[in-house]
Amino acid sequence: MKRRYLITLLAMVLVAPWAVADGGMWMLQFLKQQNLKRMQKMGLKLSAEEIYNPGQGALGDAVVQFGGGCTGEIVSSQGLVFTNHHCGYGEIQSHSSVEANYLRDGFYAPTLQDELPNPGLNVTIVEEIVDATDYLKQYLEKVGEQDPLVYMRRGYLRKVAKQWYVENRGALTAGVALDMAPFYEGNRYYLFVKKQYSDIRLVAAPPSCIGKFGADTDNWEWPRHSGDFSVFRIYTAPDGSPAEYSADNVPLKPKYYLKVSGKGVEEGDFVMMMGFPGTTNHFYTPSEVRERLEVDNQIRIDLRKVRQEAMWEEMMKDEAVNIQYAAKYQGSTNAYKNAIGTSWAARKKNFEAVKQEMVDRLLAYSKQQNKPEYAEAVAKIETMVKERATLRALAKIYGEGLWRAVETAKAPLIKSDEELRQLRDPQEAAKWYDEVILGYFDKDYNKEVDRKVTAAMFEAVLKYIDRVTEGQELSIQLQTPFAIRSLMDSKDLGAIFDESIYFDKAKMVEVLSSEGGEVAYALDPVTLLAFSVREDMKTISKALSEYDRDFALARRTLLQGMLEMDGEMNLWPDANLTLRYTFGQIKGYVPRDNVYYGAQTTMDGIMEKWDDESPEFYLLPKVVDIYRNKDFGRWALPNGKMPVNIVATTHTTGGNSGSPLVNGKGELVGINFDRNWEGVGGDIEYLPDYQRSIILDVRYLLMILDKYLGADRLMNELDIVE
């Protein structure tokens, strides 16, 4: 009996997919125990200490979190940072105008004084990673906190992190940022001690015909031909400490920066990548896979398609409108195509069956170890997913169809009776309008675009709500459908866009400052819409939240079982915007029968796609001249062709945009900017035969800096290894 049990247990471990498969978003502090030997066999020439060595200066110190959701890398002794064009797109757009259109024409600062500041943009560098699991448990016992919804929240954990820091490191100093995060659904906690820099300046960017070549048509696609990069610089106070923007600030002197390889890579070469991947769901159960496909993804696909078609029609009529809505459109289509690709991969590779195998292994382990709590956790998750289906669908409809799509639905509202009383003063009302209303309906808002989108979304949202609630008696009351139907009775939605005081400062001030004006304000069409949407979203969220605590506990128990069964050193935790590494090789793939995609593209492909009638595939004359004259400098391949993009088997997701790809020596060979459409399902299950990171070959970046932008200053600043 004992022998049979041991054989069964061994078999479960041997078939654990995460113990043998490629992929994974691993934590740097465990590199030596988990993957170092394998990586060195594949071609890594560095020791673990050369990659992660807190306080001593190592490869990881050159990797930065750029803004709230991207990665970048320090590439010079003067704080120069490479990231993606799409990561810096908002900053490039903010400095652009019809007269100085940096989106269209590109940008290069010939001197430090010409580099452009970007208020609100932050860059952080991880200095230390600390296991805070025991500290948090002791803290929770001390304060008597038992609600998992509380101690899974980053805001709460930051408070705990501050106390840990004061007890173990001393007083917080300027620029120190702390991020304590839950891993394995709260079975482990790690604290990331960071330095945060807030004086970040734009240095260079290619024109969109390079940085966005292929745009939405090519998004998530391979073969690819995009020069998706932008260049920034970190500035500090003269003493090297983080500081807000000042003309007296100086470029950062980093602990470590990446050398740049001028040799590039070839198919089969070992590569490694570091970054801040955002979200994965590697430990989904089968019912969670179904919910993701049939509810979350399908609603996103259907409603974003409606919004994007309406936006695009208006954007193509006017270049000024195109500039206004470029970033909004790009943000929408990015998630749209991701949802399509994830659903395709999940069905093609039968993710439900894969996750059922995972669950079956845990159920067997639960029975053999006499730990019924693991089987109970699986059953609870399945039950709750089924029970919350309609509420989940409504939450997604409101989020995708109204909150993220209809700009007036998110219009600012007066927050309190006290604020309303203050606004009876005409001067205060005028000030509030200028700061709050015009702060929201800013230079990138266009009333006619919003009118067009709103009309389309209202119709789509009403149909969707009717569909998901058909034959059901809801436990909640919704206001917005009635408000929408009322507003649709006015011609061209004139009640909103032609009559609302939100679009007339004088009327708004008059209403707010008049006796009884609060009634007229409350009955304004925009107020009614914005209020009803907010109230309904609160109602739906509250109803859904009834499941949250039990769901969190069940998920935590599920992962506790997985950790016991397979061991932490064999399991990589789901991504959560913390520093990770992944590794693999440069490698093409077979997307379908009798089709092979190689691992590298060249400028030949750019010319094959070139279409000046298309806003996605046009080229400025200088790009064409560089190609026709073969003016590639020393960055071309031995055969004379100019490399553009490469693919690797590294495991990436959103947040890895801008991540550095390095060779075995730790030299920069590329910048990650996308994944292939066939592999976006890797957020749920890694697909070794399909999944590829799409990467800008650094030689193309160097050629653009050198030959297109004429950025001699930057070329001399980089440490290029030939």
- pLDDT tier at 185, thresholds 50, 70, 90: very high
Q: Which of 482, 456, 478 minimizes the C-alpha distance to 468?
A: 478
- 215: left (phi > 0), else alpha (psi -120 to 50), else beta? left
Of the listed ranges 9-13, 442-446, 718-722, the least confidently predicted one is 9-13
Q: How far apart are CA 685 and CA 349, in angstroms?
A: 9
Tokens of 64: 């930065």
d(CA 270, CA 581): 14
341 and 433 fall within a common domain = yes
Bridge partners for 721 per DSSP:
261
The pLDDT tens digits for 98-119 are 889 999 999 999 999 999 999 9
- Does 592 share its domain with 716? yes
Indicate if 395 and 506 belong to the same structural domain: yes
Residue 44 has pLDDT above 70, yes or no: yes
Q: How far apart are CA 465 and CA 440, in angstroms?
A: 28
User: How confident is the model at residue 251, as a pLDDT?
Assistant: 99
In a domain, 176, yes or no: no
Same domain, 273 and 295: no
How high is the pLDDT of residue 14? 40
**Residue 290 in domain:** yes
Q: Is the pLDDT of residue 3 over 90?
A: no
Claim to verify: residue 238 and residue 333 sit in the same structural domain: no
Q: Using an 8 Å Cβ cutoff, are 340 and 490 in contact?
A: no
Q: What CATH number has the domain bearing residue 272?
A: 2.40.10.120
Is 130 a domain residue? no
Taking the CB of residue 21, how many other CB atoms lie within 10 A of it? Answer: 13
pLDDT on residue 319: 87
pLDDT digits over 337-359, tens only? 889 989 989 998 999 999 999 99
* Amino acid (1-letter code) at residue 629: N
pLDDT of residue 327: 81
Strand 230-236 relative to strand 116-117: parallel, antiparallel, unpaired? Answer: unpaired
Do 344 and 469 share a domain, yes or no? yes
Distance CA 457, CA 462 (A): 8
Does 597 fall in a domain?
yes
pLDDT digits (tens, 9 = 90+) for 585-630: 999 999 989 999 999 999 999 999 999 999 899 999 999 999 999 9
Handedness of CA 204, 208, 210, 213 (dihedral sign): positive
Over 70: is that where the pLDDT of 22 sits?
no
Supply the range of the domain harboring residue 64: 1-122+198-281+573-722
Over 60: is that where the pLDDT of 10 sits?
Answer: no
Q: What is the pLDDT of residues 244-273, one digit of tens each?
A: 999 999 999 999 999 999 999 999 999 999
Q: What is the mean pLDDT of residues 227-250?
A: 98
Question: Distance (Å, rounded) from C-alpha 327 to C-alpha 600?
Answer: 28
Of 530, 546, 562, at which residue does a domain stop? Answer: 546
User: Would you state the structure tokens that stand for residue 606, as one six-digit string?
Assistant: 């750019």
A 10 A CB-CB count for 620 gives 17
- As a whole number, the mean pLDDT across the chain is 94
Token readout for 181 is 């995060």
Helix (H) / strand (E) containing 352: helix 351-368
Name the more confident of 319 and 710.
710
Report the domain count for the chain: 2
Radius of gyration of the chain (CA): 27
Same domain, 32 and 101: yes
3/17 Cα distance (integer angstroms) = 24
Sort strands 660-662 and 668-675 into parallel, antiparallel or unpaired.
antiparallel
Q: Is residue 529 part of a domain?
A: yes
Are residues 692 and 621 located together in one domain of the fold?
yes
Looking at the fold, whether 60 and 93 belong to one and the same domain comes out as: yes
Both tokens of 631, joined, read 């003016």
Same domain, 226 and 331: no
Tell me what pLDDT residue 6 has: 42
2: pLDDT strictly greater than 50: no
Mean pLDDT (whole number) for 232-255: 98
Residue 519 lies in a domain: yes
| Statement to judge: residues 251 and 323 lie in one domain | no
Q: Which residues are catalytic?
A: 86, 228, 657
Residue 343 half-sphere exposure toward CB, CA atoms < 13 A? 19
From CA 175, how far away is CA 152, in angstroms rounded?
Answer: 25
327 assigned to some structural domain: yes
Q: How confident is the model at residue 473 (pLDDT cuts 50, 70, 90)?
A: confident
Residue 543 is predicted with a pLDDT of 97
Asked whether the predicted pLDDT for residue 323 surpasses 90, the reply is no
Q: How confident is the model at residue 362 (pLDDT cuts 50, 70, 90)?
A: very high
Task: Indicate the residue among 508, 530, 546 that finishes a domain.
Answer: 546
Structure tokens at 501: 């005081």
| DSSP E strands, 574-682 | 580-585, 589-592, 595-597, 600-602, 643-648, 660-662, 668-675
Those residues with Cβ within 8 angstroms of residue 101's Cβ, 6 or more apart along the chain or in another chain: 323
Mean pLDDT of 414-432: 94
Phi/psi at 542 (5° precision): -65, -45
List the beta strands (DSSP E) in 514-620: 580-585, 589-592, 595-597, 600-602
Q: Does residue 567 sit within a domain?
A: no
Q: Is the pLDDT of residue 583 over 90?
A: yes
Once rounded to an integer, what is the mean pLDDT over residues 655-684?
A: 97
- Helix (H), strand (E), coil (C) string for 13-33: HHCCHHHHCCCCCECHHHHHH
Whether residues 97 and 207 fall in one domain? yes
pLDDT at 9 over 70: no
Average pLDDT over residues 520-530: 96
Three-state DSSP class for residue 285: coil
The predicted pLDDT at position 600 comes to 98
| pLDDT attached to residue 148 | 79
> For residue 524, which of 542, 497, 545, 544 has the smallest C-alpha distance?
497
Q: Which of 6-10, 200-204, 686-690 has the lowest mean pLDDT?
A: 6-10
Three-class secondary structure of residue 526 per DSSP: helix
